[in-house]
């Protein structure tokens, strides 16, 4: 009974404050994204060692992230941002103003949700919008329906010689079937101080996981439709390579 | 709880820009050929005279290509029912793509675009040739910026869509123009409208063969456009270099399946098939008569037909009677 009263009171307060003057009950969540390789920050173009002991670099790693939300301990879901594109050649974060309180999870989609993917077109957005012509940065398939959700590409040296990185690999994954939403448990509190939460992408795990291993000598290219099995394998590993953690 | 919802709601971002600023346009009725159904226009791109005129100019404007040499009309020529006579059309730098340019007659009715069905709207389709390195190899944002400097085109853009010439205007107006490319005035149509004498005896015999159980041509080439838009492998080879529908579906069982094309004005669009590999209608009829090459995925309806010489001529005569002469002689702007 006491709980119900409190809730009613809280609801009344929030209604009263409305959109105009929310300041006493808000705080900032800085949602960031980081790419790592073997525990260090992944730097575009640097040479790492892949799962088959061959040199590997990553020339381009981009992904659409969408439907970002935070979940409060009481189950309320709070919207953070509808869609963005992360280019791992640059740092990426988004500052969202959220209602104060305790939270236990972050949810987001990797890719572009079906409702704004296949039947839409970039001309409907301002050019620099992440789904627009300039803003999509090559993440749109003009001959096919929809956006490329994730691009992970670079070079390796199949002969092991890191002075001649000439063997390309490219994983381009998209189409509605590959859109996926994730929920990660992460306890954090929103109050006056900014709270930083990071989505970590562990790149070495994209080729090697507990159940599968991709050998770039044989499996090195998919544009999804031309090699669905490889797109599926890549996404299964990619999924396991993501985690979310409190940064401060 | 209600309060909280309201609170969150005011933080929602708008993903799509407002498209409701359309109120003042003067929509027109585009006449459709007798016997054709009404066209289902997208709400945001119903036809107006300005939209169609702008699209017509842009369709014929070579500034859409990187080196100002290729317009849409270079490969989609009015005289050829908006197709061409090349096996593979020539784009910028004289490069050739790998498919045969199809006729754009009646694209207003197509449920999807391209031979593999990867694109769902005519508006979206415009983007593909523009950024294809083998066709126009240009950037749609740059093209639009450049063309918006053309005072006349830009004033037309404002009248047509209430905004400067941008990618939205470019793709919408070209699609609006393409939806006016309606062709339904062939001898076959006159016959369907009740003119018994519109077809010769030979053409009629060909029509009967075409729609017969024996040839089954009309089971795929059905309806007022002579296509049901299904994807079929018709046994053109043991191996298909071009995987067709599989390219977008990823499904092995779609290997070598291509959209069944409309046969309207087919006499004007040689060579034939997705790769332009059959040069004449005789070769096409030969192909169907022989039952094609064995392929696991070849459609069951493609079987040896044992047509006599006379029957083959009759079929050909019918295909020729699908030509709408008035469509290819309409008044068109000069290409620049």
Question: Do B270 and B223 sit in the same domain of this protein?
Answer: yes
Q: State the pLDDT at residue B322.
A: 98
Which residue in the block uniquely carries the two structure tokens 């009646």? B106
CA distance B322 to B312: 16
Q: Which chain B residues are Cβ-neighbours of A119 within 8 angstroms?
A: 120-121
Taking only residues 172 to 231 of chain B, the set having a beta carbon closer than 8 angstroms to any beta carbon of chain A reads 172
Question: Do B268 and B121 sit in the same domain of this protein?
Answer: no
Q: State the pLDDT at residue B45.
A: 96
Give the closest-approach CA distance of A11 to chain B in angstroms: 5
CA distance B53 to B15: 31
Neighbour tally for B174: CB within 10 Å: 25
Question: Do B299 and B204 sit in the same domain of this protein?
Answer: yes
Q: How many domains does chain B have?
A: 2
Please report the number of interchain residue pairs, chain A to chain B, with beta-carbon separation below 8 angstroms.
108
Q: State the pLDDT at residue B156.
A: 97
Q: Are A202 and A241 in contact (CB under 8 A)?
A: yes
Please report whether residue B336 resides in a domain: no
Question: Do B211 and B69 sit in the same domain of this protein?
Answer: no
Q: Are A119 and A145 in contact (CB under 8 A)?
A: yes
Q: Structural domain of residue B167, as residue ranges?
A: 21-183
On whether any CB of chain A is under 8 Å from the CB of B28, the answer is no
Please report whether residue B3 resides in a domain: no
On whether any CB of chain B is under 8 Å from the CB of A79, the answer is yes
Please report whether residue B140 resides in a domain: yes
In B, minimum Cα distance to A127 occurs at: B141
CATH of the domain at B287: 1.10.760.10
Residue A151 backbone phi and psi in degrees, to 5:
-120, 125
**Which of B7, B141, B170 comes nearest A99 by C-beta?**
B7
Q: Are B228 and B220 in contact (CB under 8 A)?
A: yes
Task: State the greatest distance between any 2 C-alpha atoms of chain A, in Å, as a whole number.
Answer: 72
Question: Do B30 and B89 sit in the same domain of this protein?
Answer: yes
Give A144's pLDDT tier (boundaries 50, 70, 90). confident
Q: State the pLDDT at residue A10.
A: 47
Higher-pLDDT residue of A79, A22: A79
- Among B150, B183, B216, the domain boundary falls at B183
Q: State the pLDDT at residue B17.
A: 42
Inter-residue long-range contacts of B195-202, CB under 8 Å, 24+ positions, other chains counted:
B199/B321, B200/B317, B200/B321, B202/B313, B202/B314, B202/B317
On whether any CB of chain A is under 8 Å from the CB of B128, the answer is yes
User: What's the whole-model pTM score?
Assistant: 0.87
- Across residues A27-37, what is the average pLDDT? 97
Q: State the pLDDT at residue A18.
A: 52
Question: Do B192 and B307 sit in the same domain of this protein?
Answer: yes
Q: State the pLDDT at residue B336.
A: 36
Q: State the pLDDT at residue A20.
A: 55
Question: Do B89 and B117 sit in the same domain of this protein?
Answer: yes
Question: Do B160 and B207 sit in the same domain of this protein?
Answer: no
For residue B112, give the nearest of B122, B104, B102 by alpha carbon. Answer: B122
Q: State the pLDDT at residue B10.
A: 32
Among A7-11, A160-164, A223-227, B7-11, the minimum mean pLDDT is found in: B7-11
Interface test with A, best of B17, B18, B127 (most A CBs within 10 A): B127
CA distance A104 to A75: 9
Q: Are B296 and B238 in contact (CB under 8 A)?
A: no
Q: State the pLDDT at residue A216.
A: 96
Taking only residues 226 to 265 of chain B, the set having a beta carbon closer than 8 angstroms to any beta carbon of chain A reads 243, 246-250
Q: Are the beta carbons of A144 and B118 separated by less than 8 Å? A: yes
Q: Which chain A residues are Cβ-neighbours of B8 within 8 angstroms?
A: 78-79, 99
In the predicted model, residues of chain B with pLDDT beneath 50 are 1-20, 22, 333-336
Cα dihedral B232/B237/B239/B244 (nearest 10): -30
Tell me the CA distances in angstroms from A91 to A57, A87, A88, A238, B192, one per residue in order.
Answer: 18, 8, 7, 20, 66
3-state helix, strand, coil in chain A (%, to 5): 20, 45, 35
Question: Do B215 and B140 sit in the same domain of this protein?
Answer: no
pLDDT digits (tens, 9 = 90+) for B117-135: 989 899 999 998 988 878 8
- Across residues A145-164, what is the average pLDDT? 94
Kindly report the three-state secondary structure assignment for every residue of B61-79. CHHHCCCCCCCHHHHCEHH
**Which of B118, B123, B247 comes nearest A226 by C-beta?**
B247
Residue A106 has pLDDT above 50, yes or no: yes
Give the closest-approach CA distance of B313 to chain A in angstroms: 38
Question: Do B60 and B169 sit in the same domain of this protein?
Answer: yes
- Across residues A75-94, what is the average pLDDT? 96
- Across residues A214-240, what is the average pLDDT? 94
Domain positions in chain A: 26-246
For residue B270, give the nearest of B79, B59, B73 by alpha carbon. Answer: B79
On whether any CB of chain B is under 8 Å from the CB of A217, the answer is no
Interface test with B, best of A144, A172, A177, A229 (most B CBs within 10 A): A144
């Amino acid at each position: 009974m006491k709980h119900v009263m409190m809730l009613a009171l809280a609801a009344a307060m929030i209604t009263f404050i409305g959109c105009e003057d929310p300041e006493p009950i808000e705080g900032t969540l800085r949602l960031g994204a980081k790419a790592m390789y073997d525990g260090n920050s992944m730097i575009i173009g640097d040479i790492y060692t892949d799962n088959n002991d061959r040199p590997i670099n990553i020339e381009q790693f981009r992904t659409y992230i969408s439907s970002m939300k935070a979940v409060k301990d009481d189950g309320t879901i709070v919207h953070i941002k509808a869609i963005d594109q992360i280019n791992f050649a640059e740092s990426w974060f988004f500052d969202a103003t959220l209602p104060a309180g305790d939270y236990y999870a972050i949810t987001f989609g990797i890719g572009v949700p079906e409702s704004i993917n296949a039947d839409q077109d970039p001309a409907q957005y301002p050019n620099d919008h992440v789904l627009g012509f300039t803003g999509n940065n090559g993440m749109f398939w003009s001959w096919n329906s929809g956006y490329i959700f994730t691009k992970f590409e670079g070079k390796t040296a199949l002969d092991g010689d890191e002075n001649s990185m000439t063997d390309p690999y490219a994983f381009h994954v998209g189409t509605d079937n590959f859109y996926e939403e994730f929920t990660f448990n992460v306890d954090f509190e929103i109050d006056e101080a900014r709270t930083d939460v990071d989505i970590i992408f562990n790149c070495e795990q994209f080729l090697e996981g507990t159940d599968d291993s991709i050998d770039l000598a044989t499996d090195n290219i998919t544009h999804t439709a031309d090699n669905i099995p490889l797109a599926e394998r890549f996404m299964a590993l990619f999924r396991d390579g993501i985690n979310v953690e409190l940064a401060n | 709880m209600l309060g909280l919802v309201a609170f969150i709601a005011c933080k929602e971002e708008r993903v799509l820009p407002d498209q409701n600023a359309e109120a003042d346009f003067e929509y027109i009725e585009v006449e459709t050929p007798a016997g054709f159904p009404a066209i289902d226009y997208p709400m945001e791109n119903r036809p107006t005279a300005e939209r169609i005129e702008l699209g017509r100019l842009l369709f014929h404007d070579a500034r859409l290509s990187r080196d100002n040499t290729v317009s849409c009309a270079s490969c989609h020529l009015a005289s050829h029912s908006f197709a061409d006579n090349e096996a593979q059309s020539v784009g910028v730098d004289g490069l050739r793509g790998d498919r045969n340019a199809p006729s754009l007659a009646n694209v207003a009715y197509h449920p999807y675009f391209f031979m593999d069905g990867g694109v769902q709207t005519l508006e979206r389709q415009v983007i593909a040739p523009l950024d294809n390195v083998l066709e126009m190899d240009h950037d749609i944002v740059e093209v639009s910026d450049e063309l918006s400097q053309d005072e006349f085109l830009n004033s037309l853009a404002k009248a047509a869509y209430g905004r400067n010439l941008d990618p939205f205007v470019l793709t919408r107006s070209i699609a609006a123009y393409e939806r006016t490319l309606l062709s339904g005035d062939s001898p076959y149509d006159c016959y369907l409208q009740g003119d018994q004498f519109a077809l010769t005896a030979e053409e009629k015999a060909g029509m009967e063969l075409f729609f017969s159980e024996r040839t089954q041509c009309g089971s795929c080439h059905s309806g007022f456009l002579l296509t049901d838009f299904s994807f079929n492998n018709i046994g053109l080879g043991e191996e298909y270099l071009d995987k067709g529908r599989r390219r977008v579906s990823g499904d092995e069982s779609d290997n070598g399946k291509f959209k069944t094309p409309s046969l309207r004005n087919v006499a004007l669009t040689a060579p034939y098939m997705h790769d332009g590999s059959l040069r004449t209608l005789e070769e096409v009829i030969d192909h169907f008569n022989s039952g094609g090459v064995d392929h696991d995925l070849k459609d069951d309806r493609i079987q040896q037909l044992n047509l006599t010489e006379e029957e083959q001529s009759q079929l050909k005569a019918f295909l020729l009677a699908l030509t709408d002469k008035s469509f290819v002689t309409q008044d068109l702007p000069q290409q620049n």
